[in-house]
Amino acid sequence: MSIRIGILGYGNLGRGVECAIKHNPDTELVAVFTRRDPETVKILTETAKVYSVKDAEQHKDEIDVLIICGGSATDLPVQTPEYVKYFNVVDSFDTHKRIPEHFANVDKAATETGHVGIISVGWDPGMFSLNRMYANAILTEGNDYTFWGKGVSQGHSDAVRRIKGVKDAKQYTIPVEAALESVRNGENPELTTRQKHTRECFVVAEEGADLARIEEEIKTMPNYFDEYDTTVHFISQEELDRDHSGIPHGGFVIRSGKTGWNNENSHVIEYSLKLDSNPEFTSSVIVAYARAAYRMNKEGQKGCKTVFDVAPAYLSALDGAELRKKFL
């Protein structure tokens, strides 16, 4: 019996989830829900249907887990608490400073309706969060660093696309080389947000849009750009499609720490990602957590969860004995 998946929102992440389902034989795509005209949204899975998001509730008995692929800037704060009333859900919410409020909103709706809602799934937040937590639980005396890129942040690109007058955009996150080198040399530097990364945006503006206003809105955007040095380039759609078509990314989490009665021994924990496709990797994480949401709800669990609340075995299609034999 396959785990029946729905996708809400068919953008980069929605398409990635469709691909990830194909790579997970114990899952199947049943439906895609979109705010656009369903006739205009073409999917790859012949056995699945595209519906208007307005009809999602009607299909709640056909779907075991709804994966919500909207943008974090404005979609997920509304969509996830709304649709967890009718489905077990997974989202990729990544506005880090707003996660506590998102958790509370989803938890209220999920608990009241008996569903599981796993939020902030992906790589950061997600796999990087887990590795930061593991490293800190193990090396209690130490220093943490997270670096991303050079690559395309989907969350920041989405946030720029939501600005009035922006037709399309891509945002690159670029690590500051001197900061990287200092960390790699084990100098344990104290680094501000601004000292670790810069951000570079390539923006296609609508005809007649106020470019100075758009640039200012980007550079001062709370939770996304206001703590960074950011460069904004205005280019044509043709240039964006030609020169910035991919969505590669990556990065690493590193923690150096000490052990021993007198802290005489040093250790380094590192977890790194090199991604050809940010959305396809993120979606692969999300589908594994959709499997977990389904199983956890089947056991009677409900409410909002994060990656910290999901035992690793829930993620795998293998059963306990197979896991112990293959990976221990």
Ligand X SMILES: NC(=O)C1=CN([C@@H]2O[C@H](COP(=O)(O)OP(=O)(O)OC[C@H]3O[C@@H](n4cnc5c(N)ncnc54)[C@H](OP(=O)(O)O)[C@@H]3O)[C@@H](O)[C@H]2O)C=CC1
Q: Which residues bind ligand DA3 (CB under 6 A)?
A: 94, 123-124, 148-149, 153-156, 173, 249, 278
* 291: partner contacted, choices ligand DA3, ligand X, none (Cβ within 5-8 A by kind): none
Binds ligand X (CB under 6 A): choice among 146, 171, 282, 306: 282
> Three-state SS for 75?
coil
**Residues 43-82 within binding reach of ligand X (CB under 6 A):** 53, 69-72
Stated as kind and residue range, the H or E segment containing 84 is none
The residue from 36, 164, 194, 213 that contacts ligand X (CB under 6 A) is 36
Q: How far is the CB of 124 from ligand DA3 (least distance, A)?
A: 4
| Cα(287)–Cα(316) distance, integer angstroms | 10
Q: How far apart are CB 92 and ligand X at their closest, in Å?
A: 4
- CB closer to ligand X, 125 vs 142: 125
Residue 10 partner contact from ligand X, ligand DA3, none using kind-dependent CB cut-offs of 5 to 8 Å: ligand X
Nearer to ligand X, 33 or 256 (CB): 33
Question: How many CB atoms are located within 10 Å of the residue 75 CB?
Answer: 20
Position of tokens 């590669």?
A: 248
Could you tell which of ligand DA3, ligand X, none binds residue 252, using a CB distance below 5 to 8 A set by kind?
none
Nearest distance in Å: CB 88, ligand X: 18
Report how far residue 213's alpha carbon sits from residue 117's, in angstroms, rounded to the nearest whole number.
37
Backbone phi, psi, residue 26, to 5°: -90, 10
Sheet holding 197-205, edge to edge: 151-152, 166-175, 197-205, 229-234
- Outline where the chain has alpha helix (H): 12-22, 76-83, 99-113, 127-138, 154-161, 177-184, 193-196, 211-219, 237-243, 278-298, 320-327
The least distance separating ligand X from the CB of residue 208, rounded to whole angstroms, comes to: 20
Least spacing, CB of residue 177 vs ligand DA3, in Å: 16
- Using CB distances below 5 to 8 A depending on partner kind, what does residue 71 bind out of ligand X, ligand DA3, none? ligand X
Q: 300 phi and psi, to 5 degrees?
A: 100, 5
Q: Which does 129 bind (CB under 5 to 8 A by kind): ligand DA3, ligand X, none?
A: none
Asked if residue 147 lies in contact with residue 159, where contact means CB atoms within 8 angstroms, the answer is no
- Of the pair 142, 149, the CB lying nearest ligand X is at 149
Cβ-contact 196, 210 below 8 angstroms: no
Phi, psi of 218 (to 5 degrees): -65, -55
> 222-261 mask for ligand X (x: CB under 6 A)?
----------------------------------------
86 touches ligand X by CB under 6 A? no
274 part of the interface to ligand X, by CB under 6 A: no
Q: Of these partners, ligand DA3, ligand X, none, which one is at the site of residue 148 (CB under 5 to 8 Å by kind)?
A: ligand DA3
Q: Which is nearer to ligand X, 41 or 323 (CB)?
A: 41
Q: Can you state the angle between helices 99-113 and 76-83, rounded to 10 degrees?
A: 20
Give whichever of 156 and 196 is closer to ligand X, judged by the CB atom. Answer: 156
Give me 215's structure tokens: 């640039």
Q: Which two tokens stand for residue 266?
A: 């040093």
Nearest Cα to Cα of residue 191 among 199, 200, 182: 182
Q: Rule CB under 6 A: which residues touch ligand X?
A: 9-14, 34-36, 53, 69-72, 92, 94, 122-126, 154-155, 158, 161, 278-279, 282
